Amino acid sequence: MKRTIPILITFITGGIIVLAEFIPPWAILREHVLIYFQIIAVFAFFLGGGSLLKINCQKVVRKREDWQFAIVTLVGFFIMLALGLFKMGNPEMVDLGFAADLNASGSWFKNVFDAVKAPLSASMYSLLAFFIASASYRAFRAKNSDATVLLVSAFIILLGQTFVGVVSTGWMPEWMSFFKVENLSLWLLAKANLAGQRAILIGIALGIISMSLRVILGIERTHLSGGDE
């Protein structure tokens, strides 16, 4: 029973969403289903928040490795919660009360967000530049024929984006223009790369249809859990 009801709900909502794509009057139902999901997700947020507090409090109390970071998490959590809930330091509070915009210019919430959270996120994102270099170094080693093709392709594309690359083959006559490095680079991106990407996308689309059918028909039910049938 614990599984039958979720499977039934999945079948009905999944069926509605698929059919709504082809039945114009049902399009509104699809939007409603998505709103229901958001409502459920809000309830789950309390579970998530509870889990976050529990895990970090345990870390601090039991003095686990790097427990000091857990204090930073907890302090940050409560500060942002207070600033957001009570709209502290929000200039619109005087006129609008709690209807004030959370991101109103000058509000403490927005200031902390802009001064702390945004730079931290940008810092993490910027790590990507270094990781791309290290991953490329490993990926572009000509260990076998496949890796050699990858290396040559990458070299042409990299060269095609640079001034040196364009100059190096600039002497070629018009009838050999295809072999100019910038044109080869473009050809690799627009033809070879795009064809591969489209093949992957077609496979993904078919995979999603198959997976969705398994879920809607209740054949795939491991994600539902629930014990008895």
Partner 1 sequence: MSQPNQNSPFCKIFPTLLSALFLFTILASSPKTLFAQDAETSVIDSTLENLVPIPARPANVKAKDHVYDIGEKVDVSWELSPDDTTGLRNVVGYIISRRLDTASDFDSVGAVFSRIASLTDIGLTKGESYQYAVTAYTSAGAVSETSVSNSVTTEQEWFDGDKFWQVLLLVIIAGSVAYFIYHAKKGKPMFLRKIAGLQAVEEAIGRATEMGRPILFIPGIHDMDDVQTIAGMTILAKVAKQVAEYESRIFVPTRASLAMTAARETVREAYMTAGRIDAYRSDDIYYVTDEQFGYVAAVNGIMTRDKPATCFYLGAFFAESLILAETGNSIGAIQIAGTAMPAQLPFFVAACDYTLIGEELFAASAYLSEDPKQMGSLKGQDVGKVVAMAAILIGAVLATLGSEEGMNIETFNSAFHAFWGVFGGGE
What residue ranges bind partner 1 (CB under 8 A)? Answer: 21-25, 27, 34, 37, 40-41, 44-49, 51-52, 54-55, 58, 65-66, 69, 117, 120-121, 124-125, 127-128, 131-132, 134-136, 138-139, 197, 200-204, 206-215, 217, 219-220, 222-227
Q: Least distance to partner 1 from the beta carbon of 184, Å?
A: 19
Query: Around 4, how many Cα atoms within 13 Å sit in the side-chain half-sphere?
Result: 3
The Cα–Cα gap between 100 and 58 comes to: 36
**Looking at beta carbons only, is 37 or 179 nearer to partner 1?**
37
Nearest one of 2, 26, 1 to 12, comparing CA atoms:
26
- Between 99 and 124, CB nearer to partner 1: 124
Nearest to 102 by CA among 78, 118, 114, 86: 86
Q: Which of 103, 77, 71, 69 is nearest to 89 (CA)?
A: 103
Q: Which is nearer to partner 1, 52 or 88 (CB)?
A: 52
Within the chain, what is the greatest distance between any pair of CA atoms?
Answer: 76
CB of residue 126 to partner 1, shortest distance in Å: 10
Helices then strands, each counted (H, E), the chain: 10, 0
CB of 206 to partner 1, least distance (A): 4
For partner 1, which is the closer residue by CB, 18 or 172? 18
